[in-house]
Amino acid sequence: MLTDYAEVLRQARRFGSPSLFLGYGFSAGVIPELPEALSRLSTAGPAASTEDSLTVLIRRLLDVHPKLPKCITNEGYVAARTFLAPYPSIFTIDPCLPLHWARNKDELGPKSFEKRDGFLGLAWRGQDAVDQEVHCLHGGLHLYDGEEEVKKLAYKKGGKTIMQQVRSRLDKGKDPLLVLDPTSEGRAHRIDNHPYLSYCFDCWQGQSTAVVFVGHDFADHDAHLITGLSKSAVKKVFVSLEGAPG
């Protein structure tokens, strides 16, 4: 049984402009190995051994990740952008780049698509990002902590790709901004003590209409997300389902 997303959106709009939550399933369609790679990351945490360190696991994630935006078809991007466009706010725990790439495909439809990520150039605007529409609740491969602000990687013509930049930073001992603690408590603590992550989470808790969950498995280590949502004024929650009922 596949979710009828058009009907879900119609129902969700009865409660106002709904938000969209994207789990790992969003990128899994183009990265089949993603669930296993992220599962290993999630269970390793900051106390990982030298042999199976976080850096090694992040590299394994990079190994299965598409190297370039062109690895995904234009038809795929149009489908993604068309799906995302009706939602004024998008929250995601997916650290991979397909969402970021889809946002930047301005030459593709729909023409009404615009999803601001809260960055001015390559730097996050902090508390001034009141028009931010995309919130990376657990960070992302393209995000990192600069000396004074949160920054994002970008491709410049003739330069290194984002994936190459991530690898180069790893070679220098610089990890992306990611929330990978093995417990919900650890993830909540990481979020609470980071300006970008806590801002995104405050926005998550500040919702008051409806939320549509897509591609999320509701694992125990993400219980803080549901706890946060329970403190909001959300009126209705919709959860997508795949497979045969029962």
pLDDT of residue 2: 52
> Region 29-39: what's the mean pLDDT?
75
pLDDT at 245 over 90: no
pLDDT of residue 237: 96
> Region 194-218: what's the mean pLDDT?
95
> Region 35-48: what's the mean pLDDT?
62
> Region 37-50: what's the mean pLDDT?
57
> Region 2-22: what's the mean pLDDT?
91
> Quick one: which of 178, 25, 198 has its CA closest to 98?
25
How many angstroms separate the most distant Cα atoms in the chain? Answer: 52
pLDDT of residue 104: 92
Task: List the beta bridge partners of residue 237.
Answer: 211
| Rounded to 5°, angle at Cα 90 from 139 and 232 | 95
The two structure tokens encoding residue 72:
């995904």
Confidence bin at 36 (pLDDT 50/70/90): confident
pLDDT of residue 123: 97
* pTM metric for this prediction: 0.91
CA distance linking residue 77 with residue 79, whole number of Å = 5
Strands 89-92 and 134-136: parallel
pLDDT of residue 206: 95
pLDDT at 144 over 90: yes
pLDDT at 185 over 70: yes
Quote the mean pLDDT of the chain. 88
pLDDT at 60 over 70: yes
